[in-house]
Chain A
Amino acid sequence: MPESSLPAISPFGAGLKPGRFGNRFEGISPITIAERADLTLCIMSAASGKSGAIAEQVEALTGLILPAGPKRVSEKGLSLIGTAPGQWLAIADGDATRKTLDKLAEALSGLATIADISDGKAVLRVSGPRVCDALAKGCSLDLDPRAFKPGDAATTPVALIDCQIWQIDDTPSYELAVPSSFAGSFWHWLTSSSAEFGYTVE
């Protein structure tokens, strides 16, 4: 995307201010919230019967094994998340990776279509020892390490908002993607739910 002199505005708007909020805490932040504004997100949809061919191309180009279910694979800033049969969310983190994504799109021409939805999603990374307790206030998924692990992904309503969630590591850290028009309501819910524990916005 060519850079313009016009300012890009976060869908979270003025709500997103760095600092510590909610109840006071000592030591490690119970919950840390950070916007992932720098991501390029594309929906990659397979042409009829081309999932196998796509997987080959993806592996050849990136070394990633294309997930066949709700899983996330990631390498050098490029992530692929299974979101539906024959559909993946491709995420590039930073400019260099965006080029990899462009190359991938080129290689998949005829096999898959790519739709840029970078501005259609508002993405947050949430992490910390109490993050699951906060998420439990709106997310019906079982995020216990026995049930949901790094590399797992799901599409689920969170606080009545369509959400895609994937686990990054076992801190635990998760990323949550919601439609950008819902960002304000989602932010309000997440911060209300985290305030009891105390949280940090980065």
Chain B
Amino acid sequence: MSGQPFRLAQGGIIDRTRSLSFSFDGKTYSGHPGDTLASALLANGVRLVGRSFKYHRPRGIYSAGVDEPNALTEMRTGARLEPNTRATMVELFHGLEASSQNRWPSLAFDILSVNSWLSPFLSAGFYYKTFMWPASFWKRVYEPLIRRGAGLGSAAREPDPDHYEKAFAHCDVLVIGSGPAGLMAALTAGRAGARVILAEQDFELGGRLLSERLSIDSRPAFDWAERTIAELEIMDNVRLMRRTTIFGVYDGGTYGAVEQVSDHLAAPLPHQPRQRSWRIVAKRAVLAAGALERGIAFPNNDLPGVMLGSAVRSYVNRFGTAPGRRAVVFTASGDGWDTARDLAASGVHVEAVVDARDQAQGDPQFRAFSGAVVERAKGWQQIDGVIVRDAKGKRHKIACDLLTLSNGWNPTLHLTCHLGGRPGWNEALQAFVPGSVPKGMSVAGAAAGPLTLAAALQTGANLGAEAAKDAGFTASPPKLPQAGQDSAEASPIWRVKNAKGAAFVDIQNDVTTKDVELAVREGYGQSEHVKRYTTLGMGTDQGKTANVLALGLLSELTGKPVPEIGTTGFRPPFTPVTWGALAGHHRGPEFRPKRLPPSHAWAEENGAVFAEAGAWLRAQWYRRPGETAWQDSVNREAAAVRRSVGLCDVSTLGKIDIQGPDAAELLDRVYINRFSTLKVGRTRYGLMLREDGFAMDDGTTARLGEQHFIMTTTTANAGKVMQHLEFCRQVLWRELDVRLVSVSDHWAQYAVAGPRSREVLAKLADAPFDISSEAFPYMAAGALTVCSGVPARLFRVTFSGELAYELAVPARYGDAVVRAIMKAGAEFGITPYGTEALNVLRIEKGHPAGPELNGQTTARDLGLLGMMKKDKDFIGKILADRPALVEPSQPVLIGVKAVDPNETLTAGSHFIPVGAMTVTANDHGYLTSVAWSPALGHDIGIGFLADGRQRVGERIRAVDLLRGRDVECEVASPVFFDPEGARARA
């Protein structure tokens, strides 16, 4: 382990009593709690941390925060590998493994750094202009080549082993940022009694107070921060959220946030998520996100060792780390002089302060150049000197290993733009400041523009009090602490003119001043055009250090003021958000909540293979030992129903309890057929239409009492039908006195079907219930008890065409009753059957289901016109009569079977006349459902065919272009099995 050669002897908010071991590119180093990966690397003298996106130039740590464009690393390994992690935002932990990106074979010797030498040819638009032809090369040659060369880190190949959460929080006042303005706002609102959430992306509260040698009330400002944080900590109504980034602003005072719960640990603690995404609902918000410092474009401004001045102050003051030993300060603002003083106080030798301003307020302790610039930085894999051009044009060569840049600040106003707000250009600050802000938000401190500590405390206090008042509390701004003097006034320069070499505007995306000049020359001079032409601002940092620099440069190049060139807007997220955090609990099997019928455990025990039907898991078939193909199971099940008896869980059907004096009237109005004539104790099949006349859903409805019906719907449409009926009742026909309750989950329901079904149920029904066909005929419905006292309902309805019943019991008995039915049926060889066998049986009977009720078919198409009662009104009646829908040529439901019984039919095939071309003009309809019929021994299908009823016996082709099939078929009645329906009435 090395000895942290660049660690200062004292100072900083790090715990020097403990050491943390970590590795970078396989080499082991040590740091301290309180370090970031970036500060620990610097303390160990690691300057080169990555290669750039396009030219593979050597890059170092540039900032100390969220704006970092360069120091992107791959964190961790294996399944937890995470690319593009900003080293400046990674809290150091013991055992941290990080590696550099975009280099091969090693960081120091990177083959593709040849791109850097080729850079004169790789200017903006190079790829668009060069890789044009041949077009066949786009996908196979150019794209893989470019993708390999460019780009950032690589993603993990294994599933993420960690879990993520989503959560909601509510507050009166949300304070975003915990610098002096944020702390003051939170304190004021908190003291007023408001529920406050203070969100801070860093792991320490305090913002710039952690990094600056400022004073409050004549003591170090950090002391004031500590006292304030301590007071906030003990307030019940204040919640401090560290490691939490507010990434987006949404309607109605909703804010998106990500809390990095365990990112600072090698692995999450037991039961702890890696990250948690929050939706914070706030009555008011105070944005106190501070400001981000700007760099300057000059040749080689991307060399490792070139850093923002504010970052250097952070490393020195907060992390007790010297980013170099011999520094040159290049500044266009008062900040540069603070940087020089802080460096000097820490023992770093300041070689020179180069101030671009003509009349800079100097500091005699430094060798100073006024009205001067750094013309270029020199060095190979890191900076080793600069060429300074003084006010008279004379050049001075100065050796150094650190160059700091201060060029004014950009307020962190991103969140003010998320609901469409546009920032405004402030000429005095030479920066964008918040323009229109989202409703309920106010902006305090440097995020609003004013940069002094006094202004931060003042606006924080005022806006915190105002926010609390708006939320209904009595608040008064507290006595303001006295802030010491500070000044960050800048007269920024955007680039150093008349200098040769690559001067980077967007360091992350390798966009230089030349690229911007080229864009202007080629007619892409508007900000949005420059962005797309050069990719400026399109990196993972979204141009946090680049955008304003580019606009300033464009202004210079075009002679237009910045606001005319365009403003930069921002969309969520402020910083990248992982998919895991957005998905939270809902991934894998929990992607959506599942519905399970009460028979689920029993079905699992019996080899059920499940399929998702909406949210439900339904048994498709029950695999028996020895059955390898699904069709084996399905054929066995379907045959067993026809031969003896089968059992199918139909609990998933929608069940709606309809009660009230007008219950029958409601049904008459929603079904095409009549229910007011249905006798108590009887069931009827019904079809309901949409307003536009197309079929919506079907099912059976039983009359349990004069004013009491129970409706069943298809599984898929249960929710939709309930909504439809509630809409009819609450909106269309408020005069009807009728009440609806969904009882779908209350009842477990089993279809017992087959010639022996009556005998099975007879064994279960408690005396004195009489199940004989005379007492309980086809379509009867009744209440009874089964299995010695379980309340139940019995319906004699059939979907299979066999003698069949549906038995409903309260869900708690669902498991026991399915086992009881199986026991009672054992002597008859009762066979559980799934949805596939159910499908086979209903196709044999020509009963329409989902594929036929597909939203494009009418009652007429389905062959159910006879059911329609024209002497009453019902939903869909008028529009079902539209001329196009009643044309004789409209396809109607028919059956088909292949002429060659060994042929297979496929659903979705289109009907084309024999000998006709396979073109749309010859399309006579389509096949919706097919099955191999165990009863008939060959494939059958039902579908819709023009003039179908008249064409029974004709030949037609079923053409499936997708699967390359063309099968000659004979048109038949859709009812293949037991056309008289005698079996159901047995």
Which residues of chain A have a CB within 8 Å of any CB of chain B?
A: 1-11, 13-14, 22-23, 43, 45-48, 87, 113, 115-121, 136-142, 144, 146-147, 159-161, 179-186, 188-189, 192-193, 195-196
A189 CB contacts on chain B under 8 angstroms = 585, 590, 593
B814 contacts A by Cβ under 8 Å = yes
Partner pick for B811 among A119, A139, A140, A182, CB 8 A cutoff? A119
Interface residues of B in 724-764 (CB under 8 A from A): 737, 739-747
Q: Say yes or no: A11 contacts B811, CB within 8 Å.
A: yes
Question: Which of B440-448, B542-550, B567-575, B596-604 makes up part of the contact surface?
Answer: B596-604
B596 touches A184 (CB 8 A): yes
B window 255-313: CB within 8 A of A: 269-273, 279, 281
**Are B815 and A5 in contact, CB atoms less than 8 angstroms apart?**
no
Closest 10 CB pairs of A and B: A120-B746, A45-B739, A185-B593, A195-B271, A181-B595, A119-B811, A6-B816, A142-B170, A8-B812, A4-B789
Are B593 and A186 in contact, with the CB atoms below 8 A? Answer: yes
A9-B815 in contact (CB<8A): yes
Task: Kindly state the separation between the CA atoms of A134 and B815 in the bound complex, as whole angstroms.
Answer: 31
A-B contact list, 28 entries, CB within 8 Å:
A1-B791, A2-B791, A4-B788, A8-B813, A8-B816, A22-B271, A45-B659, A47-B737, A48-B737, A115-B739, A115-B743, A117-B743, A119-B812, A120-B743, A120-B811, A137-B165, A137-B167, A137-B585, A138-B166, A140-B281, A147-B170, A159-B586, A181-B597, A185-B595, A192-B163, A192-B585, A196-B271, A196-B273
Report the Cα distance A6→B745, complex, angstroms.
19
Q: Are A161 and B810 in contact (CB under 8 A)?
A: no
Query: Using Cβ atoms and an 8 Å threshold, which residues of chain A touch B615?
Result: 182
Name the contact of A136 in the complex, choosing from B167, B739, B811 (C-beta under 8 A): B167
Of all chain B residues, the one with the shortest Cβ separation from A161 is: B593
Check if B431 is an interface residue, CB within 8 A of chain A. no
Residues of A within 8 A of B166 (CB): 137-138
Q: Are B595 and A179 interface neighbours, CB within 8 A?
A: yes
Within 8 A of A (CB), among B572-618: 584-586, 590, 592-598, 600-601, 615-616
Beyond A6-B820, A47-B739, A144-B195, 14 additional pairs, beta carbon < 8 A: A1-B791, A2-B785, A2-B790, A6-B817, A9-B598, A9-B812, A45-B741, A117-B741, A119-B746, A136-B168, A138-B166, A140-B168, A196-B271, A196-B273
Given A117-B746, A139-B168, decide whether A4 and B813 contact each other with a Cβ distance below 8 A: yes
Cβ–Cβ < 8 Å partners of B815 in chain A: 7, 9
**Residues of A close to B820: CB separation below 8 A:** 6
Contacts of B271 in A (CB 8 A): 22-23, 195-196
For the complex, what is the distance from the CA of A117 to the CA of B741, rounded to whole Å?
9
Q: Using CB atoms, name the residue of chain B closest to A37.
A: B812
Measured between alpha carbons, how far is A108 from B166 in the docked complex, in Å?
44
Q: Within the assembled complex, what's the spacing in Å between the Cα atoms of A184 and B743?
A: 18
CB distance from A61 to the nearest CB of B (A): 21
Q: Does B777 contact A (CB under 8 A)?
A: no
CA distance A87 to B820 in the complex (A): 37
Chain B: minimal CB distance from A48 (Å): 4
Establish whether residues A3 and B789, one from each chain, have CB atoms under 8 Å apart when the complex forms: yes
Answer whether residue B829 sits at the interface, using C-beta atoms and an 8 A cutoff: no
Most chain B beta carbons < 10 A, residue from A115, A118, A159: A115
Contact A5 B787 (CB under 8 A): yes
Contacts of B810 in A (CB 8 A): 1, 118-119
CB-based contact A182/B595 at 8 Å: yes
Asked whether any CB of chain A lies closer than 8 Å to the CB of B657, the reply is yes
| A159 partner residues in chain B, CB cutoff 8 A | 585-586, 593
B79: chain A residues at CB < 8 Å are: none
Closest CB in chain B relative to A93 CB, distance in Å: 17
> How many chain B residues touch A (Cβ–Cβ < 8 Å)?
59
A11 to chain B: which residues have CB within 8 Å? Answer: 598, 811-812
Q: Is the CB of A179 within 8 A of B585?
A: no
Is there an interface contact between B594 and A185, defined as CB atoms closer than 8 Å? Answer: yes
Please indicate the chain B residues that have their CB under 8 angstroms from the CB of A184 in the complex. 594, 596
**Which residues of B have CB within 8 Å of A3?**
789
Q: Specify the main secondary structure of chain B where it touches its partner.
A: mixed
Q: Is the CB of A144 within 8 A of B168?
A: no
Is the CB of B660 closer than 8 A to any CB of chain A? yes
B585 & A193 in contact (Cβ 8 Å cutoff): yes
**Interfacial chain B residues near A116, Cβ < 8 Å:** 746
Complex Cα distance, B604 from A13, in Å, reads 13
Give A195 to B273 CA distance when docked, in angstroms: 10
- Residues in chain A near residue B813, CB distance under 8 A: 4, 6, 8-9
Centre residue among A6, A7, A196 by max chain B CB count within 10 A: A6
B146 within 8 A of A: no
- Nearest residue, chain A, Cβ from B735: A48
Complex formed: what's the CA distance from A1 to B167 in Å? 40
Q: Which B-chain residue is minimally distant from A5 (CB atoms)?
A: B788
Confirm or deny: B145 has a beta carbon within 8 angstroms of a beta carbon on chain A. no
A6/B787 contact (C-beta < 8 A), A113-B660, A115-B741, A195-B271 known: yes
Complex Cα–Cα for A118 and B741 (A): 13
Q: Which residues in A have their C-beta under 8 angstroms from that of B593?
A: 159-161, 182, 185-186, 189
Tell yes or no: B169 within 8 A of A by CB: yes
Collect the chain B residues with CB atoms within 8 Å of residue A137's CB.
165-168, 584-585
> What residues of B have a CB within 8 angstroms of the CB of A13 in the complex?
600-601
CA distance A9 to B815 in the complex (A): 7
Residue of B nearest to A184 (CB): B596
B412 CB → nearest A CB, Å: 28
**Do A121 and B281 form a contact, CB below 8 Å, given A6-B790, A188-B590?**
no
Contact: A5 with B272, CB < 8 Å? no
Cβ contacts under 8 Å, B167 to chain A: 136-137
Least Cβ distance of B739 to chain A in Å? 4
A2 touches which of B585, B737, B743, B789 (Cβ 8 Å): B789
A196 touching B660, Cβ below 8 Å:
no
Cβ-defined contact, A160 with B811, below 8 A: no
A97 to chain B, nearest CB (A): 18
B269 to A, closest residue via Cβ: A23
Q: Tell me whether A179 and B743 are in contact (CB under 8 A).
A: no
Residues on the B chain within 8 Å of A48, using CB:
737
Q: How far is the CA of A188 from the CA of B743 in the complex (A)?
A: 24
A10, B596: Cα distance in complex, Å: 12
A13 to B163, CA, bound (A): 24
Cα separation A116 to B745 with both chains bound (whole Å) = 11
Q: Give complex CA distance A4, B660 in Å.
A: 31
- Tell me, in angstroms, the Cα distance from A61 to B504 when the chains sit together: 82
Which chain B residues numbered 778 to 793 have a C-beta less than 8 Å away from chain A? 785, 787-791
A91 to chain B, nearest CB (A): 15
The answer for the CA separation of A118 and B747 in the assembled complex, in Å, is: 10
Q: How far is B597's CA from A120's CA once the two chains are assembled, in angstroms? A: 11
Shortest CB-to-CB span from A42 to chain B, Å, is 9
Q: Whole-angstrom distance between the alpha carbons of A55 and B249 in the complex?
A: 45
- Contact between A146 and B195, CB atoms less than 8 A apart: yes
How many angstroms between the C-alpha atoms of A119 and B810 in the bound complex?
6
**Per-position contact with A for B796-835: 1 when CB-CB < 8 Å, else 0?**
0000000000000011111111001000000000000000
- Are A43 and B747 in contact (CB-based, < 8 A)? no
Give the complex CA separation of A161 and B586 in angstroms: 12
Give, as a whole number of angstroms, the nearest-CB distance from A184 to chain B.
5
| Inter-subunit contact A23/B789 (CB<8 Å) | no
Q: Which B residues, 648 to 663, have Cβ-Cβ distances below 8 Å to chain A?
A: 657, 659-661
- Bound: A91/B811 CA distance, A: 18
- Whether A142 touches B811, Cβ cut-off 8 Å, given contacts A184-B594, A185-B594, is no
Q: Once bound together, how far apart are the Cα atoms of A141 and B168, in whole Å?
A: 8
Q: When chains A and B are docked, how far (Å) is the Cα of A97 from the Cα of B213?
A: 71
Q: How far is the CA of A30 from the CA of B659 in the complex (A)?
A: 44
Q: Is the CB of A120 within 8 A of B657?
A: no
Q: Which residues of A contact B168 (CB under 8 A)?
A: 136-137, 139-141
Set of chain B residues within 8 Å of A119, measured between Cβ atoms? 745-747, 810-812
Residue of B nearest to A22 (CB): B271
Within the assembled complex, what's the spacing in Å between the Cα atoms of A195 and B787? 40
Instruction: For the complex, give the distance between the alpha carbons of A173 and B596 in Å.
Output: 28
* Contact status B616-A181, CB under 8 Å: yes
Docked Cα-Cα span, A182 to B820, in Å, equals 24
Contact A136 to B816, CB < 8 A, known contacts A115-B743, A180-B745 = no
